Amino acid sequence: KTCHARRCVKRCFGLASGRSGHETLTQQPQTRGKMYSLSSQKKFWTFKTEQELAELRVKQNVRFIAKHGASMTEEQRQAHFLSADEERLLLKQYELQLKEFCKRFEPPMPKYVVGTAFHYFKRFYLNNSSMDYHPKEILATCVYLACKVEEFNVSIAQFVANIKGDRVKAMDIILSNELLLMQELNYYLTIHNPMRPIEGFLIDIKTRCNMSNPDRLRPGIEDFIDKTFLTDAPLMYAPSQIALAAVLHAASKEQENLDSYVTESLFGSAKDKLPVLIEAVRRVRSMVRTIELPPKDRVRFLEKKLEKCRNQENNPDSQIYKQRMKKMYEDEDDLDVMGSSYHMNVSDASLDVSQLNTTNPANMTID
Among the residue ranges 25-34, 62-71, 163-172, the one predicted with the least confidence is 25-34
166, 108: one domain:
yes
- Report CA 294 to chain centroid distance, whole Å: 20
Picking from 226, 234, 194, 289, the residue whose alpha carbon sits closest to that of residue 99 is 226
Answer for the pair 101, 142: CB distance below 8 angstroms, yes or no: no
Please indicate, yes or no, whether residues 62 and 180 belong to a single structural domain of this protein.
yes
Give the tens place of pLDDT for each residue, 119-145.
999 999 999 999 999 999 999 999 999
- Phi, psi for residue 164 in degrees, rounded to 5: -80, 150
Of residues 68 and 348, which shows the higher confidence score?
68
How many domains in the chain? 2
The letter for the amino acid at 102 is C
Measured CA to CA, the distance from residue 113 to residue 117 in angstroms comes to 6
* Same structural domain, 178 and 265: no
Q: Which residue range forms the structural domain that includes residue 105?
A: 48-191+295-309
Residues 107 and 130 in one domain: yes
Distance between CA 246 and CA 237 in Å, rounded?
13
Same domain, yes or no, for 170 and 239? Answer: no
| Choice between 15 and 366, residue whose per-residue pLDDT is larger | 15
Q: Is pLDDT at 362 greater than 70 in this prediction?
A: no
Q: What is the pLDDT of residue 349?
A: 37
| 201 within 8 A of 211, measured Cβ to Cβ | no
Indicate whether 305 and 240 sit together in one domain: no
98, 121 Cβ separation under 8 angstroms: yes
Instruction: Give the tens place of pLDDT for each residue, 164-202.
Output: 999 999 999 999 999 999 999 999 999 999 999 999 999
What pLDDT shows up at residue 360? Answer: 40
Please give the pLDDT value at position 34: 67
pLDDT of 24 over the 60 cut:
no
Q: What pTM does this model have?
A: 0.81
Whether residues 155 and 54 fall in one domain: yes
Please state the rounded mean pLDDT for residues 318-332.
72
Q: In this structure, is residue 364 part of a structural domain?
A: no
- Give the other-Cβ count within 10 Å of 154's Cβ: 18
Q: What is the pLDDT of residue 241?
A: 96
Query: Rounded mean pLDDT of 325-342?
Result: 62
pLDDT of 337 reads 57
- Average per-residue pLDDT in the chain? 84
Can you tell me the mean pLDDT for 281-310? Answer: 96
Output the pLDDT for position 333: 60
User: Which pLDDT score is estimated for 170?
Assistant: 95
Give the least confident one: 40-44, 124-128, 327-331: 327-331
Asked whether residue 64 falls in the same domain as residue 198, the answer is no
Task: Give residue-wise pLDDT tens across range 220-229.
Answer: 999 999 999 9
Greater pLDDT, 235 or 331: 235
* pLDDT value of residue 361: 37
- Measured CA to CA, the distance from residue 364 to residue 68 in angstroms comes to 36
